[in-house]
Amino acid sequence: MERRDLTRFLMGPVPAVVLSTLLIVTLAMLSAAALHSEVYGVYYSALLGVSVVGIIALMVLIAAHVYRMVLQMRAGILGSRLTLKLIGIYVLLAIIPLAVVYYISVQFLHRGIDSWFDVRIEQALDDALLLGRTSLEAVKEERVKRVQNLATGLDLVNSKQAMVRALDDLREQAGFTEVTLLSQDGRIIASSNLYTGSLIPNRPSISVLSRLRQGEIYANLEPTGDENLELQIVIPIYPLDVKQPVRILQVREPLPLRYSKLGKSVETASTEFNKLAYLRGPLKLSFVLTLTLVTLMTLLIAVWAAIFSARALTAPLRDLAEGTRAVTQGEYDKQLPESSSDELGVLVKSFNKMTRKIKQAQTVARRSQQETEDQRTYLETVLTHLSSGVLSFDVKGSLRTLNSAASDILLVNLKQDIGSTLKNLNTSYSQLEPFFNVIQNAIDNEIPEWRTEVTVVGARGRQVITSRGTKMGASKRRGGGYVVVFDDVTKLIQAQRDAAWGEVARRLAHEIKNPLTPIQLSAERIRHRCMSKLDKDEQETLDRATRTISEQVESMKSMVNAFSNYAQLKQMQPEQMDLNQLVEDVVELYRGEGNAAVLDLNLDNRLPLILADRSRLRQVLNNLLTNARDALAGNKNQRIELDTRFVQEADRSYVELTVLDNGPGFQEELLGRLFEPYVTTKEKGNGLGLAIVKKIVEEHGGAVWAQNRKGVGASLTIQLPMDVQKNRSDNDNLVSQSGDIQA
């Protein structure tokens, strides 16, 4: 048996029941030993020791139970405090009556034992004993006189036979059992006995004979074999003739049975009384000790019964408390054992019924919650994959929720600003102030539904944002607010413009380029035919006019060709290429042209191969370097820097190409329109260089933006994704949408 099992067994009811039974039997035997010491006296000490050991063992068991409950109370186990309180009440209810009964019993015990040894009873016993002795003395004197009278004449009998007959007559006449005649020295002369089986008569003892020689008469009571008394009388017989020897006569006469019984009763009572008087103190101690052990045993059994009764009574309450705690912790399937049909049992059944109903309600609530979560997840999934940005605000204008597209469109991380007001958002993101002002105005004026378009200028240039707002109704959980859905239509508008410019370019090529060649040929023919026929002044005028016509025609041809290049949508021929190598090749050409600008390269060695059209990217680099070189014209310390960088994000990977210069920078009013056709600050520029750059970059699925550097100079950044085909198809879809709109 393991230690835990042994402890559980010792703390159970079996040891206490066995000890209690043993104590009851032992104390019963101890009480019997105290009352009948002549029978059980030899076992008294052993029984007392067994009783003391049993009581100590029972006390140890009770102390172990109490200590265990104290530990449970300190550990905060439910029901332990109530169990200790009930045990205390039960023990108090047991101690008070036991103490009263014990005190009264001890008093009665002392008084009862003292009453046994009352002086009057002792005097009465002494008087009865004295009376009996006096009566017997009177009987003896009367019997002695009678024997003396009957012995008269025996000294005259001489023959032995005559003496025997005389003794027989004397025995029969007086009713003696035995009559014996002896000489003075104790020799038997003649004898007569009632019992024929007794051949030899009883002779007097030497002391009796000695008393007779001194002239005394001997008379004494002696017991017989049948628990009766007989009177032995021995007297001397003095003859008339002094010469004759003195003889001794011994007679034995039985006393009546009532004398024997009365004498024996008085003697026994006196002996018992004297014995009890001698054992008076030990008797009191024995009875008090037995009573104390019985009382202590009763108290301990009552305490033990109180412990188990309290534990049995509080067990349902403890189960209820534990069940309640389990319910508060969310264990709604908790069921308690139903072991009784009383009030506590009804309470347990009610608890189980309650938990079942709570479990059912929880199941329904979880199902509803799961449905709500599924709907919420569905909405979140829709919002997450929605290309439009979604923002929600409460009635006070504080940002409540948003989707990932909102941060992507606005190019700021708004997740960290959840809970911020529109005023704080304006402060944190001043470039988005027009967008947030529109929302603030709608909330302030409580406009139920609105739609507008705003333009913001951020890190990547001008953005055109269309937004739609709707006021939400208030609910129990939420106090209403606004939902704003917005889109970045910059690319769409740009695509529309590109499509329009492409159409213009195609028409220009058709309507203008075709007449230019005949005009140029006609001017040259006029010059060739008329030059020799005119005088010198007119020749100069004609030469200047025809040369101007030819130059302007060439200029218009260049413009029309540029438009044609911008409008043409040739099929890309992507290939795996090294962007760093392309940059080095193009820069090397510019270094060889006697360029005054210093060209610095800061290339990322981690840059992977990209899938792109090499010729088109070369055209992009040429346009960017040409613009940078033109912007630095007139500067003393001309410097152009080209940087490449590989960027890996959670959902995409791309490469960046940045061209920086230390020129005057871009005009602020033109930053939002730099990539539109015919936007230029050059006197001889046609405004198509950056437009072509943007078009090529977007054909690769990338993005391009320009910004002024802090201090001096400008920078232009190109992002090219690793998956060109996918992003290019997205841009093609955008172009097709713009074409549909134009149509």
Distance of alpha carbon 9 from alpha carbon 564, whole angstroms = 104
Report pLDDT digits (tens) over 280-289. 556 666 677 7
Contact 587, 599 (CB under 8 A): yes
pLDDT in tens, 372-386: 888 878 877 777 777
Higher pLDDT, 442 or 562: 442
Q: How does DSSP classify residue 201?
A: P
DSSP state of 570: P
Q: At residue 161, does pLDDT exceed 80?
A: no
- 419-456 pLDDT tens trace: 888 888 888 888 888 888 888 888 888 888 989 888 88
Write out pLDDT tens, residues 61-84: 778 777 777 877 777 776 677 777
Query: Which residues are bridge partners to 314 per DSSP?
Result: none
Query: What is the gyration radius of the CA atoms in the chain, in angstroms?
Result: 71
Q: What is the pLDDT of residue 269?
A: 66
Of the pLDDT bands very low, low, confident and very high (cuts 50, 70, 90), residue 660 is very high
pTM of the full structure = 0.40
Long-range contacts of 442-451 (CB under 8 A, 24+ apart): 442/469, 442/482, 443/393, 443/395, 443/397, 443/482, 446/471, 447/471
Give the per-residue pLDDT at 125. 62
| Pairing assessment for the beta strands 639-648 and 598-602 based on DSSP bridges | parallel
CA–CA gap between residue 691 and residue 498 (Å, rounded): 9
Q: Lowest mean pLDDT of 19-28, 57-66, 85-94, 707-716, name the range.
A: 19-28
Residue 180 · residue 172 · CB < 8 Å: no
CA dihedral 551, 554, 555, 557 (to 10 degrees): 160
Q: What is the mean pLDDT of the chain?
A: 76
| 280-284-290-293 Cα dihedral, nearest 10 degrees | -150
In this predicted structure, the answer to whether residue 674 has a pLDDT above a threshold of 90 is no
Task: Give the amino acid at 609.
Answer: L
pLDDT for the residue numbered 743 = 26
Query: What is the model's pLDDT at position 258?
Result: 67
Residue 631 has what pLDDT?
84
Distance CA 74, CA 91 (A): 21
